[in-house]
Amino acid sequence: MIDYSHIPSPCFVLEEARLRANLELINSVQQRAGIQIILALKGFSMYSAFPLVKQYLPGATASSLNEIKLVNEYMGVKAHTYIPAIRDDEFDEILERSSHLTFNSLSQWERYKDRAMNSGVSCGIRVNPQYSEVGTDMYNPCVPGSRLGITRDLIGDTLPDGIEGIHFHTLCENDSFTLERTLEALESRFADLLHQAKWVNMGGGHLMTREGYNTDHLVQLLTAFRQKYDVQVILEPGSAIAWQTGVLVSTVLDLVNSQGIEVAILDTSFAAHMPDTLEMPYKPRILNSYHEPVAGKPTYRLGGMTCLAGDFMGDYSFDEPLNVGDRVIFDDMIHYTMVKTTTFNGVNLPAIGIWQEDKTFRLVKTYGYESFKDRLS
- Number of CB atoms found within 10 A of residue 151's CB: 14
Task: Please answer whether residues 279 and 266 qualify as being in contact, where contact means their C-beta atoms are separated by less than 8 angstroms.
Answer: no
Beta partners for residue 122, in sequence order: 100
Which residues make Cβ contacts (< 8 Å) with residue 148, sequence separation at least 6? 84, 104, 126, 128, 141, 169
Closest Cα partner for 355 from 344, 367, 364, 347? Answer: 364
| Amino acid at the residue 267 | D
Q: Was 276 annotated as part of a binding site?
A: yes
SS3 labels along 257-321: EECCEEEEEECCCHHHHCCHHHHCCCCCCECCCECCCCCCCCEEEEECCCCCCCCEEEEEECCCC
Angle subtended by helix axes 106-117 and 88-97, to nearest 10: 60
Phi and psi (nearest 5°) for 208? -70, -15
Residues comprising the binding site?
A: 276
Known binding residues for substrate: 276
